[in-house]
Amino acid sequence: MDTATQNQIDHLLKTSGLFPEIEKPSRTILEFDFKNETILITGAAGSIGSELARQISQYQFKKLILIDIAESPLHDLINEPEFENRTNVNFLILNITQKESLEHLFLTLKPTVIFHAAAYKHVPLMELNPFESIKVNILATQILADLSVINGVKKFIYISTDKAVNPVSIMGISKRIAEDYLLSLSTSKSTIFITTRFGNIFGSNGSVVPLFKKRIEIGESVIITHKAISRYFINKEKACELILKISQNKYQENTLLTFNMGNSIKIIDLVERLTLFCNKKQVDLKFTTLRPGEKLHEDLVSENEILMPSEHKDILIVQKKTQNTFPVNYLKRISEIKAFTPNKEVKAILNSYFKN
């Protein structure tokens, strides 16, 4: 492992919050203006949604609407200091796959800026539950986007993933289809759709890093699926700062962006540095095989895409070499999939998207 990789991993570990005894570097408070905006965050109890909410709470805003279907995590968010005695923050238990609930929300609360962070993200679990992945990651995104256009939302910022690039998993394919749908929407309407595509959030809920840390601390074996497997990582605070910066830019058309995440990190190197941070001399490593839907390495762009610089050094524009027409009838086809449709058949239907 070279010094640059060590430094990259060490920075992620120090800023992850996994080691409270390490003083995190002070963060510069940026200037964002939301005083005229009613902001809606979906998946507000998740890693990205909750961090966006915390950061937005530092600025002026007209109203903040935080929705999630997860009751306990949303209740935990309510009790965080940032939201004490705030009369202009709404916490709502809401299922984004239910169109009627969303229609009522748009009618009564009238959001003007949307951060769509709600998604199913765990690759192996979505391989076993493709119907749920389709409902949440694709169809709910379509509902939200269409209602945004109908109700004159100014900006819709969609949180995607590098797994949408050259996707092989149910999760990755579902996010890629959602990306393409948002890019296809007419820019003659009042709503601008901005997609942010980035790698793993370091230390996020349910991610491997907290699991590795726990196993190392109690002396259990750390299980890695392949010696060479690597991933792109980004600190959640930095990711959310960049997302907020994007929301303030005056994009004139629907745009796909990614972030500068440095080099991809080998998981075996990550475990080595994590072991040192846990004050352990060694760890028992065990290797298995790649799980269903899992790739050895992730990509930032596909063969049909190139990276272009933006006004910010850490934000890159993903430019399509050729623009394809989105097959609108395809959404009707997947909307007819049932909960009892065999998983193999569902995946075949999803993969057929790339043959349109």
Please identify every residue annotated as catalytic: 163
- CA dist., res. 244 & res. 168, Å (int): 30
Beta strands per DSSP E along 162-304: 192-198, 200-201, 222-224, 230-231, 233-234, 255-259, 265-266, 285-287
Report helix, strand or coil for 265. strand
Comparing C-alpha atoms, which of 213, 211, 345 is closest to residue 276? 213
Q: Look at the block and give the residue holding tokens 């203006």.
A: 33
φ/ψ (deg, to 5) at 63: -155, 150
The amino acid present at 117, given as its one-letter code, is A
Burial bucket for residue 19 (CB in 10 Å: 0-12, 13-18, 19+): middle
What lies within 8 Å, CB to CB, of 340 at 6+ separation is none
- CA dist., res. 274 & res. 268, Å (int): 10
- CA dist., res. 94 & res. 271, Å (int): 38
Write the DSSP assignment of 270-330 as a string of letters: HHHHHHHHTT-S---EEE--PPTT--SS--SS-TTEEEEE-SSTTEEEEEESSPPPP-HHH
Residues counted in the chain = 356
Residue 1 token pair:
């492992």
